[in-house]
Chain A
Amino acid sequence: MAAASTSTKVFYGLYNDEEDLKDAVRSAKAQHLEIMDVYTPFPVHGLDPIVGLQESRLHYLGFIYGATGALFGFLSMSWIFTRDWPTMFGGKPFWAVPSFIPITFEMTVLFAAWGMTLTFYTICGLWPGVKAKVLDNRITDDKFCVAFDVTGSSESDLDKLQGFFKSTHASEVSTKTI
């Protein structure tokens, strides 16, 4: 997925329903076929374990970003009001911890949200100007797609995949170079 410049020959089948898709993926796993990717028009629940995807670790990063934001917010305010330019406001202590809480909280949320979102787009390779490798226009509409990388595959491999799609009731089968 990461190599954008090289082209990949993809053999894919389209299904009409997410249950058909799940059955197909199960069957592919049983036959030890190496699935390149599965494309769906919406998040299909229960698909991830069948495809063999591990749980996303994005939320760990979210925690790290949030902690960074909290520390950054709190420590900058502390440094500014105790070291850089201590200012007296209404006789309160310079290091007025309770009144730093709101901004510390906002910085936590700000860093976590931006950090996670930017990470999400980066690791998914999604950015403005990225050309989508669309196999079929209906995948974002109502088709569920299982795709195999067949770059350099032999005729017999293709026949095997053809048979797989037939046995799993794929509504359409096609090849495309992306």
Chain B
Amino acid sequence: MSHVVSPLRHVLIEGDKSYHNITEDLCSPTEKAPTREWYIAFLLSTAFFGLYIFTIVWTVWKGIGVWGANRTINWAWDITNFVWWIGIGHAGTLISAILLLFRQRWRTGVNRAAEAMTIFAVVCAGQFPIFHMGRVWLAFFIFPFPNTRGPLWANFNSPLLWDVFAISTYFSVSLLFWYTGLVPDLATVRDRATGFRKKMYEYASFGWTGSAKHWQRWESLSLILAGLSTPLVLSVHTIVSFDFATSVIPGWHTTIFPPYFVAGAIFSGFAMVLTLMLITRKVLKLEEYITLNHIESMNKVIVLTGTIVGVAYLTELFIAWYSGYIYEQFAFYNRVFGVYWWSYFGMMFCNVVSPQLFWSRKIRRSIWWTFFLSIVVNIGMWFERFVIIATTLARDYLPSSWSYYSPTWVEIGIFTGTMGLFFFLYLIFTRVAPVVAVAEVKSILKVAGSQYIGPNAKHGHGHDHHDSKSVPTHRTEEEA
């Protein structure tokens, strides 16, 4: 009880929970048989996962000529989808790392699921560049290792190789962060389980006991991993933007890309977290842990980052006009009014106009509006990547090579298939691990739970012998 929290703060855990209630509420979804909705969702995502496997096998078997990408538009749906997924994969680390450093307690309600989402989104993202290589069995060439091909090393000056390092580092560090956070909660599940499940969780929880020294080191590790992940998450999308910004294509070669991509990534990531959490809290009955206050906080981040992205879009246009350079001006004229004008206006509407609705508190606190707008934002962010990639390439240097791109059924299959893969992994996760960080929620119960702020604050967690002697002084001061 080292923190003093203003009683005016929003309650982050509702329903006067005891520690045991929290364990019960958060662990029980992993212990009960799955609901019918879960089975339906799981079957559906498995079907799409199957489609993914089929279309990938088809691609590898036939070669990437089965995609609609051509010599002019050689980055198309694949890289669009890659950047889209990577962007989504940014919210988890942002929530767990940056919000941890800023001591935002509302993160505890959503961090675990958001981190899981990050990992699954990065898995999906990774598929696209790997299979875009064409001869995927030579994919290991991207890693620099002493070899018999010269030794031929990878090009360390290339942003594409930076991306290999950035994304593999991001994936592995996110995995460590997520799993280390999960270990104490898996121990909680272990101590409630019996039989084979107990054996499984015994293995997964690494023999965690909850010793004070372990907790101290665990917190120290979490804090440092958060400190490392914060620049890491910013570096990843910065480097993704370098894939474009360091090339000499008008429309890509801009210095605004790194911050604009990072804001866009946070924007789309939060939208996906909201989409997922709104369903998860309903299905797993976690409304008291992921409250309207959590949703409102995330919507505030959405309106902020959406506006940053909007400013970036307008700055791009302004700078193109202001440069007085006709080729740059053409690149942006083409982006807005060119062959893919519909995707530009779709992007503008979904990313810049629609989030402005969140200035209204009523809409920020409305489940249905939030759900609807989170999907609109996800669509908008997909359009943004498509606009940047396909529109720019479709009108390159030589008018004789100008071209048009539309996806084939294989590409549509791979993209919808990765959504299947994503939900397949997420649904399994909701079955095997607590989707809300149990220990972390317990640690904020008394500083930000209803027991502290609500009427129960007068009593020391309902233990009568407590009242007279050890009620911390700051409580009484606040009540006075």
Do B215 and A85 have beta carbons less than 8 Å apart? Answer: no
Do B465 and A131 have beta carbons less than 8 Å apart? Answer: no
Expressed in whole angstroms, the minimum distance between the Cβ of B191 and any Cβ of chain A is: 4
- Which residues of the other chain, B, contact A51 by a CB distance below 8 angstroms? 212
Q: B255 near A: Cβ within 8 Å?
A: no
- Which residues of the other chain, A, contact B166 by a CB distance below 8 angstroms? 102, 106
Choice from B19, B443, B465 contacting A141 with Cβ under 8 Å: B19
Q: B205 near A: Cβ within 8 Å?
A: yes
Do A120 and B180 have beta carbons less than 8 Å apart? Answer: yes
- Which residues of the other chain, B, contact A40 by a CB distance below 8 angstroms? 210, 212, 215
- Which residues of the other chain, A, contact B224 by a CB distance below 8 angstroms? 58-59, 62, 112, 116
Q: B368 near A: Cβ within 8 Å?
A: no
Q: B188 near A: Cβ within 8 Å?
A: yes
Q: A140 near B: Cβ within 8 Å?
A: yes
- Which residues of the other chain, B, contact A113 by a CB distance below 8 angstroms? 172-173, 176-177, 225, 228-229
- Which residues of the other chain, B, contact A89 by a CB distance below 8 angstroms? 155, 157-158
Complex Cα distance, B156 from A124, in Å, reads 38
Q: B161 near A: Cβ within 8 Å?
A: yes
Q: A132 near B: Cβ within 8 Å?
A: yes
Choice from A85, A110, A121 contacting B153 with Cβ under 8 Å: A85
Do B18 and A142 have beta carbons less than 8 Å apart? Answer: yes
Complex Cα distance, B218 from A110, in Å, reads 18
Q: B162 near A: Cβ within 8 Å?
A: yes
Choice from A121, A124, A140 contacting B187 with Cβ under 8 Å: A140
The listed residue with most B CB atoms (<10 A of its CB), out of A23, A41, A105, A116, is A41
Do B212 and A132 have beta carbons less than 8 Å apart? Answer: no
Do A142 and B20 have beta carbons less than 8 Å apart? Answer: yes
Chain A residue at minimum C-beta to C-beta distance from B441: A42
Q: Known: A51-B212, A87-B155. Is A19-B1 also a contact (CB below 8 A)?
A: yes
Do A58 and B220 have beta carbons less than 8 Å apart? Answer: yes
Expressed in whole angstroms, the minimum distance between the Cβ of B154 and any Cβ of chain A is: 9
Chain A residue at minimum C-beta to C-beta distance from B442: A42
Complex Cα distance, B210 from A47, in Å, reads 13
Contact with A along B24-49 (1 / 0, CB 8 A): 00000000000000000000000000
- Which residues of the other chain, B, contact A84 by a CB distance below 8 angstroms? 151, 153
Expressed in whole angstroms, the minimum distance between the Cβ of B302 and any Cβ of chain A is: 27
Q: Known: A20-B463, A120-B180, A140-B210. Is A132-B205 also a contact (CB below 8 A)?
A: yes
Q: A152 near B: Cβ within 8 Å?
A: no
Choose the segment among B120-128, B129-137, B231-239, B345-353 that binds chain A (4+ C-beta atoms closer than 8 Å): B231-239
Q: A173 near B: Cβ within 8 Å?
A: no
Chain A residue at minimum C-beta to C-beta distance from B471: A19
Do B228 and A39 have beta carbons less than 8 Å apart? Answer: no
Do A59 and B466 have beta carbons less than 8 Å apart? Answer: no
Q: B15 near A: Cβ within 8 Å?
A: no
Q: A37 near B: Cβ within 8 Å?
A: yes
Q: B90 near A: Cβ within 8 Å?
A: no
Do A17 and B466 have beta carbons less than 8 Å apart? Answer: yes
Q: Which of A94-134 contact B (CB under 8 A)?
A: 96, 99-100, 102-103, 105-107, 109-110, 112-114, 116-117, 120-121, 123-134
Number of interface residues of B (CB under 8 A): 75
Complex Cα distance, B187 from A175, in Å, reads 22
Q: Which of A1-42 contact B (CB under 8 A)?
A: 1, 16-20, 23, 37-42
Complex Cα distance, B165 from A107, in Å, reads 8
Q: Which of A42-65 contact B (CB under 8 A)?
A: 42-48, 51, 53, 55-56, 58-59, 62
Complex Cα distance, B166 from A11, in Å, reads 50
Complex Cα distance, B151 from A135, in Å, reads 57
- Which residues of the other chain, A, contact B286 by a CB distance below 8 angstroms? none
Do B218 and A120 have beta carbons less than 8 Å apart? Answer: yes
Q: Known: A40-B210, A132-B209, A142-B19. Is A17-B461 also a contact (CB below 8 A)?
A: yes
Choice from A53, A59, A99, A139 contacting B210 with Cβ under 8 Å: A139
Do B150 and A85 have beta carbons less than 8 Å apart? Answer: yes
Choice from A96, A120, A126, A132 contacting B190 with Cβ under 8 Å: A132
Q: A164 near B: Cβ within 8 Å?
A: no
Choice from B169, B190, B203, B472 contacting A110 with Cβ under 8 Å: B169
Do A17 and B215 have beta carbons less than 8 Å apart? Answer: no
Q: B89 near A: Cβ within 8 Å?
A: no
Complex Cα distance, B222 from A59, in Å, reads 11
Contact with A along B425-439 (1 / 0, CB 8 A): 000000000000011
Q: B440 near A: Cβ within 8 Å?
A: yes
Contact with A along B455-480 (1 / 0, CB 8 A): 00000110101100010100000000
Expressed in whole angstroms, the minimum distance between the Cβ of A43 and any Cβ of chain B is: 4
Choice from B150, B192, B242 contacting A137 with Cβ under 8 Å: B192
Can you identify 30 A-B contacts, CB atoms within 8 angstroms? A19-B1, A19-B460, A19-B466, A23-B470, A40-B215, A41-B439, A42-B440, A43-B216, A46-B1, A59-B220, A84-B151, A102-B159, A103-B162, A103-B165, A106-B169, A113-B176, A114-B172, A120-B221, A124-B213, A126-B208, A127-B206, A128-B204, A130-B206, A132-B205, A132-B207, A132-B208, A132-B209, A134-B191, A141-B192, A142-B18
**Given A113-B172, A114-B173, A142-B20, 4 more pairs with CB closer than 8 A:** A44-B215, A53-B216, A113-B225, A169-B465
Q: A residues engaging B (CB < 8 A)?
A: 1, 16-20, 23, 37-48, 51, 53, 55-56, 58-59, 62, 66, 76-77, 80-81, 84-85, 87, 89, 92, 96, 99-100, 102-103, 105-107, 109-110, 112-114, 116-117, 120-121, 123-135, 137-142, 169
Q: B residues engaging A (CB < 8 A)?
A: 1-3, 18-20, 23, 144, 150-153, 155-159, 161-162, 165-166, 169, 172-173, 176-177, 180, 183-184, 187-188, 190-192, 202-221, 224-225, 228-229, 231-232, 235, 239, 242, 438-440, 442-443, 460-461, 463, 465-466, 470, 472
Q: Give 5 closest A-B pairs by Cβ, nearest first.
A: A130-B207, A142-B19, A42-B439, A137-B191, A126-B206
